[in-house]
Amino acid sequence: MTFSVGDETFEAGAGTLVWLPRIVRHVREPVGRPSVGLRHHHTGGLEGMFAKQAEYFASVTGPPDESRIDEIGARWGVARVGPSLEVTE
């Protein structure tokens, strides 16, 4: 996956640990094929957002509506601050 954390952009392969600090802009994009990641959160509260997102993703066919994802995030104070990363394979 390609990650952008603050002003740094880098690729991380299988088995890599990437720290995504709170209040620092971060984004990730899969490169080449679908990816699976494990997230661990030390602060409580966001699990509700992820549960709502999972419900939404399970209900759609095709690409998700980004404005709906933004709406869900806004309930937990999470906002997208920029466009998706441009990833080249």
Q: Beta strand pairing status for 26-29 and 8-11?
A: unpaired
Tens place of pLDDT for every residue, the chain, 89 residues? 788 888 888 888 777 777 777 777 766 666 666 555 555 555 667 788 888 988 998 999 988 888 998 899 899 888 877 666 665 55
What pLDDT score does 74 carry?
92
First CA to last CA distance, the chain:
11
Whether residue 7 contacts residue 82, with contact meaning beta carbons closer than 8 Å, is answered with no
The model carries a pTM of 0.54
Nearest to 20 by CA among 38, 33, 35: 38
CA distance 7 to 64: 27
